Amino acid sequence: MCVAEQKKEEPKKQAKQEAKPKEAPAKKEEKPKDNVQALPPTTFDLYNFKTFFVNHPDKKGVAVDEMYKMLDWDGWSFWRFEYDILPDEGKKEHIANNLMNGFLSRAEHTNKYTFARHCVVGEEPKLQIIGVWLCRGPTEIPDGLTKEHAQFEYYKTRKLDPRNNKADDKLVRAYWGGMPGDVIDGKLKAVTMKWHK
């Protein structure tokens, strides 16, 4: 093939290459928002509240009263969490403590939108693990617990209404203001009490 013919073919090849339609860039799949991310903004500053509450000397009384005034009730809710404990797990305090600590450790990623006191209660050999939690969201528990926490499926939950229900108010004050040795839940005595903050 002579040089002149070679030069004629090259522009044809380039024209064919340019004629190919350009592919549209692949759309990034949007990750669906979890139920906390989907909520409207809240006026409640959880970080400052935690600092205030944990350092307050009267957690059972004045601190809870102030919390009720500060709280954005349309954006937050209280819950009682109770672990569905197996008979062997409640026989010894150290076993129940390990279970509670493991649960709290796996819940650390939610501490920007949850606050709680989680406790081992009762007496050997029938110890239980129960907590009172404040969670972002007025009607649902955050997905960070229900969908991302491996142990959460073993918990029974009940929504509390401490503003309108005296028993629920008493429960919040007992858990958040109680000390080991106090009777905090019906006839259940607190054995170990830990903050999730």
Note the pLDDT tens digit of each residue in 6-39. 555 555 555 455 555 556 565 666 666 789 999 9
Indicate the pairing of strand 76-83 with strand 128-136: antiparallel
CB proximity list for 16: less than 8 A, separation 6 or greater: none
Is 133 contained in some domain?
yes
Question: For the chain, how many structural domains are there in total?
Answer: 1
Is 7 contained in some domain?
no
**40 pLDDT above the threshold of 90:** yes
Closest CA to 154 of 125, 191, 136, 129: 129
Per-residue model confidence (pLDDT) at position 33: 78
**121 pLDDT above the threshold of 80:** yes
Starting at the edge strand that comes first in sequence, how are the strands of the sheet with 76-83 ordered? 155-160, 76-83, 128-136, 114-121, 188-196, 183-185
Q: What CATH number has the domain bearing residue 120? A: 3.30.70.1010
Cβ neighbourhood burial of 119 (10 Å; 0-12, 13-18, 19+): buried
Is 162 contained in some domain?
yes
Per-residue model confidence (pLDDT) at position 31: 66
Is 32 contained in some domain?
no
Range of the domain at 128: 46-196
Q: 62: which 2 tokens? A: 């004045």
Global pTM value: 0.84
Would you give the DSSP letter of residue 134?
A: E
- CA dist 145 and 157 (Å) reads 12
Is 185 contained in some domain?
yes
**pLDDT (average), residues 35-61:** 95
| pLDDT tens digits, one per residue of 73-97 | 999 999 999 999 999 999 999 999 9
Is 173 contained in some domain?
yes
**102 pLDDT above the threshold of 60:** yes
Do you know the residue count of the chain? 197
Say which residue, 25 or 98, is predicted with more confidence: 98
Is 57 contained in some domain?
yes
Is 178 contained in some domain?
yes
CB proximity list for 79: less than 8 A, separation 6 or greater: 132, 133, 134, 135, 141, 157, 158, 159, 160
